[in-house]
Amino acid sequence: MNKGRLFLGCFLALVATAVGFAIRSQLIEEWAIQFEMSETQKGNILGAGLYPFVISIMLFSLIVDRIGYGTAMVAAFVFHVLSAVMTIWATDYTMLYWATVIFALANGTVEAVINPVTATLYPNQKTHYLNILHAGWPGGLVVGSLIGNLMNNIDGASLPGLLWQWKFALVFIPTIIYGVLLVGQKFPPNERVEAGVTYEEMVGQFFRPLFLFLVIIMVPLAITELGTDSWMTDIMNSVIGTTYGGYVLTYTSIIMFILRFFAGPIVHKISPLGLLAASAAFAILGLLGMSQAESFFLVFVVATVYAIGKTFFWPTMLGVVSEQYPKGGALTLNGISGVGMLSVGLLGTTLMGSIQDKVIHNQLEERPELQSEYAEEEESGILGKYRPLDKQKVDALPDDSEEKLAIMEMQKTAKRQALAWTALFPTFMLVCYIGLILYFQSKGGYKPVVISGENEGGPPAESASS
């Protein structure tokens, strides 16, 4: 077993998932025009890149200790390649949707492996190394969004096919690299397996009250981070223009990438729950700020606050679960990730799209001359009935026409309101984290639980039965 190569392969597999996420968020408006999609349908595509994650992560979490981590990673590699090919050759909304579903299945399979492998490789520094592992996510967002933006300067007419197809082909690069790194590697047995914890005991951890409470918190956490990031480029393009809008996600991802390497020292000083509570407070301020900021400068200032807030959410929650439920093995660790992806995929991205459609619908009702000309037939969404914009008609309008300027202002207002409503999710999280801090203080403070009852190179910890 080559420990360093395994960790790097896991890291780059997560990079591959993030590159696909970043490119998809960049291309969503172009797809909307080409395949005639409403804001809700755009949300459905973004959601399809997330919610099927839970299917593969839960399936492989239940059987990965029996079939082997290597076999699961082969499946992830095949899914990634198949999805990229289908996306590049997509001819309509339906084909694009199912290609995106397969990509999400690949991503879930990746995380079914990399989270428990990292926790097993570094049993006494789980939160720290899970944060480093998940630096691969913002790292991939940076690579995907930055290269994607730079490719906008390429003359698409000089390429066979469409420019967006070449952009999405970037996914092949990290996919091939992680495949090469992990082929033939020996993966370690999970700490739960080594300790002799039975399959039934592992499943039983899933129904512990504290774990179920953490699962509830994971729903708004995932929506706050991934739901917002899914829409970030689309929203910022409307707020500050397409020249700089795409770089907001790149900028916040750079901040995340850097900060995740320093999670260990921060956790040592304020505990994982203290870090999560502070992160929720920053996320609230950042989202509300972005919903109001007008200028280029202010957008990036409040985006900095939001980036600090979202940085530690996901990996630190995984660290808490791994530290409190080591007997849960891959199931509890990946189960909470699955719940997060399911919630943002089925609710978060679609909800943000529905908010926009509803706000635009309400504004169009006040301008019946625009509604009759540029709104399509009535549809139903999460927030009720609405009439979506006819994207192709709007796109065909002259940029300086009164109608197009009015509609663009409506879209900007709708996107701002979607960000403002999203701030409710970290507000709920902040209340929950404060409650957890008080709960652990009543029990003598937050302490990691280890199956062996002893930390290597550290002070004794609680037994796993506590």
Compute the mean pLDDT over every residue in the chain, rounded to the nearest whole number.
86
373 occurs within a structural domain? no
What's the whole-number mean pLDDT along residues 12-17? 95
Residue span of the structural domain in which 148 resides: 3-365+411-463
Q: What is the number of structural domains in the chain? A: 1
393 occurs within a structural domain? no
The pLDDT value given to residue 152: 78
The pLDDT value given to residue 375: 85
Per mean pLDDT, which range of 97-111, 285-299, 320-334, 380-394 is the poorest?
380-394
Residue 465 has pLDDT above 50, yes or no: no
53 occurs within a structural domain? yes
**Other C-beta atoms lying within 10 Å of the C-beta of residue 394:** 17
334 occurs within a structural domain? yes
What's the whole-number mean pLDDT along residues 160-179? 89
Burial 6-17, CB ≥16 within 10 A → b, else e? bbbbbbbbbbbb
Rounded distance between C-alpha atoms, residue 283 and residue 308, angstroms = 7
The pLDDT value given to residue 458: 36
What is the band of 454 on the pLDDT scale with cuts at 50, 70, 90? very low
What is the band of 161 on the pLDDT scale with cuts at 50, 70, 90? low
Closest CA relative to residue 408, chosen from 229, 232, 241: 241
Residue 57 has pLDDT above 50, yes or no: yes
Give whichever of 11-25, 189-203, 229-243, 377-391 has the largest mean pLDDT: 11-25
- More confident position, 74 or 149: 74
For residue range 366-417, what is the model confidence (pLDDT) as tens digits? 888 888 888 888 888 778 888 888 878 888 888 888 888 898 889 889 989 9
What's the whole-number mean pLDDT along residues 207-223? 94
Residue 120 has pLDDT above 60, yes or no: yes
281 occurs within a structural domain? yes
What's the whole-number mean pLDDT along residues 360-364? 90
Q: What is the CATH number of the domain that holds 206?
A: 1.20.1250.20
Residue 108 has pLDDT above 80, yes or no: yes
The pLDDT value given to residue 2: 85
CA atoms within 13 Å, Cβ hemisphere of 221: 28
- More confident position, 392 or 161: 392
Output the 3-class SS for 205-237. Answer: HHHCHHHHHHHHHHHHHHHHHHHHHHHHHHHHH
93 occurs within a structural domain? yes
**Other C-beta atoms lying within 10 Å of the C-beta of residue 125:** 19
The pLDDT value given to residue 347: 81
The pLDDT value given to residue 47: 81
The pLDDT value given to residue 452: 58
* Percent of the chain with pLDDT strictly greater than 70: 95
84 occurs within a structural domain? yes
**With contact defined as beta carbons under 8 Å apart, do 83 and 106 qualify?**
yes
276 occurs within a structural domain? yes
What is the band of 461 on the pLDDT scale with cuts at 50, 70, 90? very low
What is the band of 437 on the pLDDT scale with cuts at 50, 70, 90? very high
* Percent of the chain with pLDDT strictly greater than 90: 38
The pLDDT value given to residue 464: 35
